[in-house]
Each structure stands twice: as structure tokens, then as C-alpha cells.
Amino acid sequence: MIQIKRAYAPANSDDGIRFLVDRIWPRGVKKKDLQIDRWVKEVAPSTKLRKWFSHIPDKWAEFQERYAAELNANSLIWKPILEAAETSTVTLVYAAKDEEHNNAVALQQFLLKKSLQKSND
């Protein structure tokens, strides 16, 4: 199972393995308070893509396509998350205010598609 959670929400035992999937550390959160297992900056959208998107909902569909292209170009950055999800619950931790249009949502959808493809192979 792959779930998502804001960095500002408290961690709990249902989170499983917690991956911070932002390139930038969440503002105002101390490292000890975030309780992540791993920070995978590389899986976040490129700075250029993040700035272009700027959390504008009208750009959401194109953002997802561009982000998927970045992820497909480097499977080494996301495969460990997918492998962890095969045996445990995984929580993608993010800091964005918009809970519907952010890189963790796009990454979750991307990984779920990859998981389905893998199980169909």
C-alpha cells in the first residue's frame, strides 16, 4: 500500500515506511519531529518543473505528464519505494499545502501504475 501524508500531520504506526519526497525540507519542522525513514530528494520533481507548476491546478495534468517523464528517465530513484511497498505500507511525506495537486499525489499515482504493470508482466 502506498499512501500520502503532509509533513505537518503527526506520524503514526499505520504509516509504515515513511519517505520524504520533497526536494526541500518542510518549513518549521525539526528533523526529529518528522520521523522519516528516508529522505529521497531525487524523486521530487526537478526545480525547473516545480517552479513551472507552482501548484497551479490548471497545470496539473501537464505537470503529471512531465513529472512521469522525469521519473521514467531514472527508475533507480523510485524503484526502492516501489519495492518497499511490495512488503510494507509506505507513506510518501510531502509539505505542500494543496493536498490534491502536489508531487506526492502524482508520485503515488505513478507508482501505483508501475505496480500494476509489474503484476501484469
- 62-117 pLDDT, tens digit per residue, is 999 999 999 999 999 999 999 999 999 999 999 999 999 999 999 999 999 998 88
CA dihedral 93, 97, 102, 103 (to 10 degrees): -40
Mean pLDDT (the chain, rounded): 94
How many residues in the chain? 121
The owner of cell 493536498 is 99
CA dihedral 42, 23, 28, 12 (to 10 degrees): -40
> What mean pLDDT is predicted for residues 14-37?
94
Q: Phi/psi at 100 (nearest 5 deg)?
A: -105, -25
The whole-number pLDDT of residue 116 equals 83
* Residue 119 clears pLDDT 70, i.e. is over it: no
The whole-number pLDDT of residue 115 equals 87
* Contact in structure between 26 and 8 (CB atoms under 8 Å): yes
The model's pTM is 0.93
> What mean pLDDT is predicted for residues 19-45?
94
The whole-number pLDDT of residue 32 equals 86
* Residue 44 clears pLDDT 90, i.e. is over it: yes
The whole-number pLDDT of residue 10 equals 92
- Cell for 51? 517552479
> What mean pLDDT is predicted for residues 1-8?
96
Residue 85, amino acid: A
